[in-house]
Amino acid sequence: MNTEPKIETRSEQPYAAVRLQVPIPFGKYLQPAWAKVHKWIAGQGLENGPSIIRYLTTDMSTKLDIEVGFFMDRFVSPSPEIVTGVLPAGRYATLLYTGSYKGKGVYNANVAIVEWAKANGVVWKTVHQDGVEWWDARLEIYLTDPDLEKDPKKYQTELAFMVAER
């Protein structure tokens, strides 16, 4: 189940992640990456926020460039294995998907927000470099911790794609 997409203004958001280049499907790479980042964050004496996947590239015919990690409440310096950054403040198209993290639900929510954008003249904030489209900010934010909520029908994933200024 998806909410209707909307445009909202967001503040910058610090995060920590592991950067990966992955083939599709890439689900088997997520848990080890989240575990690594979670351990690193805890080693810094900090707590993490929701888990995220930040899509840097989205060409489904090749490997995707992604960052897998967590939101944080403040910026911290990176390490050799962990990237840190700040997602830019600005306008984002958002949609909330409720349902299992497994299967095609989150994928279908991505299709829904992309189709909505096309129908409404929304343009994503991207740049093209060497024939590759790079996103300023395209996120899946996993709001529900499956260790705390056992019913996959109640899991919530927020999509947030940065919108180009007109």
Give the model's pLDDT for residue 13: 96
Structural domain contains residue 21: yes
DSSP string computed for 95-164? EEEES-SSTTHHHHHHHHHHHHHHHTT--B-EEEETTEEEES-EEEEE-S-TTT---GGG-EEEEEEEBP
Q: How far apart are CA 101 and CA 88, in angstroms?
A: 26
- Among 10-14, 57-61, 77-81, 109-113, where is mean pLDDT lowest? 57-61
The residue-averaged pLDDT of 107-117 equals 95
- Residue 133: per-residue pLDDT: 92
Task: With beta carbons less than 8 A apart as the criterion, state whether 91 and 136 touch.
Answer: no
Cα separation, 26 vs 22, whole angstroms: 6
In a domain, 128, yes or no: yes
Check which CATH number belongs to the domain holding 44 and give it: 3.20.80.10
Residue 1 domain-assigned? no
Domain that holds residue 95: 6-162
**Number of domains observed in the structure of the chain:** 1
Question: Residue 130: which pLDDT band, with cuts at 50, 70 and 90?
Answer: confident
Give pTM, 2 decimals.
0.94
Q: Please give the single-letter amino acid code of residue 101.
A: Y
pLDDT at 126: 96
Quick check: is 95 in a domain? yes
Mean pLDDT taken over the chain = 94
Instruction: With respect to residue 122, please indicate whether it lies within any of the assigned structural domains.
Output: yes
pLDDT band with cut points at 50, 70 and 90 for residue 113: very high
